[in-house]
Chains A and B, each alone.
Chain A
């Protein structure tokens, strides 16, 4: 089975977010990056488990510049066999989806894995776009997946319950919490990763269809106010007059 896992780079969760260029760009100054946790902990690890039980190969793909090689190496250290980096400085979700679809077509994979979203832009778009471009079914927010032959049984979380989907390969899937458990790379994996192939390929030209106009931070949280438990009238007055929630 040939498995493709799409991984992206996101700022560390403790990053203090700010913007530059008149609020049109994310300020990368001093930011520490990690592999998007949904890609790393769930998508990649589940793909590796499938390979370990049924054989095959796991390829990871990233669209980005050489700065991203560190997270790609981490993916290889965790256990992927090889990697593709489409050399591009980034772009819209559509741009990235086009690049991935191009490579996925060329490699004719049985499954293409995504994280359910990246923890920075939370777009959740690329998996769906790629499945459309590849003309494959897309199963999003997978929390459990079992394979029998070429058929996968996938549980996905839906509002207030679960949906169980059956799908034959090839398909595209996005991984949510529960699909697998984080694996910490070990020293041997890190050493092996140095010798695994990381193929850098040029990007294909794409007509951008959307662009970001501006970003804004959520309003700063105001101070916490303590009200004496005996003083319900004051609490009601504050909720009514200031917070305007009752």
Chain B
């Protein structure tokens, strides 16, 4: 079947374009806790995902191709930096709306959500929060409009969970700094126009800076061979004596709290986002189990299937309440990084388990691209690891409740 991207026919024929029969699930009437605006936001993004993402995502994932044409639509709908001020071309929305946008995007695919997370929380947010007014006006409207694609460079080949050990460094050279080093696992680096990069100055203090594609000495090779987040582009960033004008340094922050505050934003979005992936798997499993007949009755009628479904919806419901409460705290400016860690860790693990159980309910069909479960499951392996691994978030909670650092 020929598939179209924004009306244009693609050059090849994808193997499948399944009909998206998704319906949201709200066992505890969490909708009653939301405002009209939130429901509008959620339904709008849900409609957009059904229209633009569902018909193409299995194909792009299978080919490990980046559906770059979605950037325009993501910008039009307002998925880039929705909670930043309208003055910069952003949405001016609250944190719950932001969370619901992430939920619906990840219902489509974690890779699509990642693109929005990186652009909004890891690129636009630090420019807004730590940048000068000039930097904001220069970059934010274009990033919001999708004219620029951004990436965020923190992780290094030898420093993942321990970013404070980073080796990337800058040396003063008059009106510029000279940047050397390398970053690894950077979402969208090969296609990025703008890069927010973290490196140490001569005093060993972490500084944030804005790089632009085409700077001399800057390259961004793509990382191939991923079995996860295949519809998202990942690469390295290599800096060989890159001259970074001093005007490109983010003036408002020094130290690890710079990148960590961005990660808090993105992790918050992930805590919501993965509920979408989980709901998609549950929704598909519920429908499949009612339609698939074995031993003369729908497999939904067997206790073992019901156990799976009942546990899935229970866990999804708990995750929804956790996210909603976290969103309420975030709106009041009271959500702590440790609270965000707890929600990220719990909800990602929940989604991964739901995806695995849902995959089982689909039997052999579950491993194919006729159903979304296996794709979500593979994606969620990345989500479990990036933005702070599952275990690192546990250590954060551990440190928060005991006051004792168990990292080193």
B91 touches A73 (CB 8 A): no
Q: Is there a chain A Cβ closer than 8 Å to B48's Cβ?
A: yes
Q: Kindly provide the distance from the CB of A94 to the nearest chain B CB, expressed in whole angstroms.
A: 30
Instruction: Of the listed stretches B38-46, B181-189, B239-247, B346-354, name the one at the interface; the rest are far from the partner chain.
Output: B38-46
CB-CB contacts of A185-228 with B at 8 A, as 1s and 0s? Answer: 11110110110000000000000000000000000000000000
> What is the CA–CA distance of A193 and B92 in the complex, to the nearest angstrom?
13
A184 touches B77 (CB 8 A): yes
Cβ-neighbour of B82 out of A74, A187, A193 (below 8 A): A187
Instruction: Please give 19 more A-B residue pairs, beta carbons under 8 A apart, in addition to A184-B51, A187-B79.
Output: A70-B36, A70-B40, A73-B36, A73-B37, A77-B44, A184-B77, A186-B76, A186-B78, A187-B44, A187-B77, A187-B78, A187-B91, A187-B97, A187-B101, A190-B40, A190-B44, A190-B78, A193-B40, A194-B37
Inter-chain contacts of A14 with B (CB < 8 A): 23
Inter-chain contacts of B48 with A (CB < 8 A): 184
Q: Is there a chain A Cβ closer than 8 Å to B47's Cβ?
A: yes
Inter-chain contacts of B78 with A (CB < 8 A): 186-188, 190
A185 touches B36 (CB 8 A): no
Closest to B40 in A: A190
Inter-chain contacts of A185 with B (CB < 8 A): 40, 44
Q: Is there a chain A Cβ closer than 8 Å to B93's Cβ?
A: yes
Cβ-neighbour of A73 out of B40, B76, B92, B93 (below 8 A): B40
In the complex, how many residues of chain B place their beta carbon closer than 8 angstroms to a beta carbon of chain A?
22
Pick the 7 closest A-B CB pairs, nearest first. Answer: A187-B78, A187-B91, A186-B78, A70-B36, A186-B77, A185-B44, A184-B47
Inter-chain contacts of A73 with B (CB < 8 A): 36-37, 40
> What is the CA–CA distance of A76 and B76 in the complex, to the nearest angstrom?
17
> What is the CA–CA distance of A185 and B45 in the complex, to the nearest angstrom?
9
Interface secondary structure of A, over-half rule? helix
Q: Kindly provide the distance from the CB of B86 to the nearest chain A CB, expressed in whole angstroms.
A: 7
B40 touches A74 (CB 8 A): yes
Closest to A73 in B: B36
Closest to B52 in A: A184
A188 touches B86 (CB 8 A): yes
Q: Kindly provide the distance from the CB of A181 to the nearest chain B CB, expressed in whole angstroms.
A: 11
Closest to B24 in A: A32
14 contacts between A and B (CB under 8 A): A14-B23, A70-B39, A184-B48, A184-B51, A184-B77, A187-B44, A187-B101, A188-B78, A188-B86, A190-B37, A191-B86, A191-B93, A193-B40, A194-B37
Q: Is there a chain B Cβ closer than 8 Å to A110's Cβ?
A: no
Inter-chain contacts of B92 with A (CB < 8 A): 191
Within 8 A of A (CB), among B18-55: 23, 36-37, 39-41, 43-44, 47-48, 51
> What is the CA–CA distance of A188 and B51 in the complex, to the nearest angstrom?
20
> What is the CA–CA distance of A193 and B79 in the complex, to the nearest angstrom?
17
A187 touches B93 (CB 8 A): yes
Q: Kindly provide the distance from the CB of B41 to the nearest chain A CB, expressed in whole angstroms.
A: 6
Inter-chain contacts of B37 with A (CB < 8 A): 73, 190-191, 194
**Residues on A facing B (Cβ under 8 Å):** 14, 69-70, 73-74, 77, 182, 184-188, 190-191, 193-194
Closest to B26 in A: A32
> What is the CA–CA distance of A70 and B38 in the complex, to the nearest angstrom?
10
> What is the CA–CA distance of A191 and B35 in the complex, to the nearest angstrom?
12
Q: Kindly provide the distance from the CB of B404 to the nearest chain A CB, expressed in whole angstroms.
A: 43
Closest to B91 in A: A187
Inter-chain contacts of B79 with A (CB < 8 A): 187
> What is the CA–CA distance of A184 and B36 in the complex, to the nearest angstrom?
16
> What is the CA–CA distance of A14 and B20 in the complex, to the nearest angstrom?
13
Inter-chain contacts of A70 with B (CB < 8 A): 36, 39-40
Q: Kindly provide the distance from the CB of B112 to the nearest chain A CB, expressed in whole angstroms.
A: 15
A187 touches B41 (CB 8 A): yes
B44 touches A184 (CB 8 A): yes
Inter-chain contacts of B40 with A (CB < 8 A): 70, 73-74, 77, 185, 190, 193
Inter-chain contacts of B86 with A (CB < 8 A): 188, 191
Within 8 A of A (CB), among B306-325: none
> What is the CA–CA distance of A70 and B40 in the complex, to the nearest angstrom?
8
Closest to B47 in A: A184
Inter-chain contacts of A186 with B (CB < 8 A): 44, 76-78
> What is the CA–CA distance of A73 and B92 in the complex, to the nearest angstrom?
17
Q: Kindly provide the distance from the CB of A80 to the nearest chain B CB, expressed in whole angstroms.
A: 14
Inter-chain contacts of A194 with B (CB < 8 A): 37
Q: Kindly provide the distance from the CB of B124 to the nearest chain A CB, expressed in whole angstroms.
A: 14
Inter-chain contacts of B36 with A (CB < 8 A): 69-70, 73
> What is the CA–CA distance of A95 and B398 in the complex, to the nearest angstrom?
64
Inter-chain contacts of A193 with B (CB < 8 A): 40
Question: Which one of B36, B79, B93, B101 has the highest number of Cβ atoms from chain A below 10 Å of its Cβ?
Answer: B36
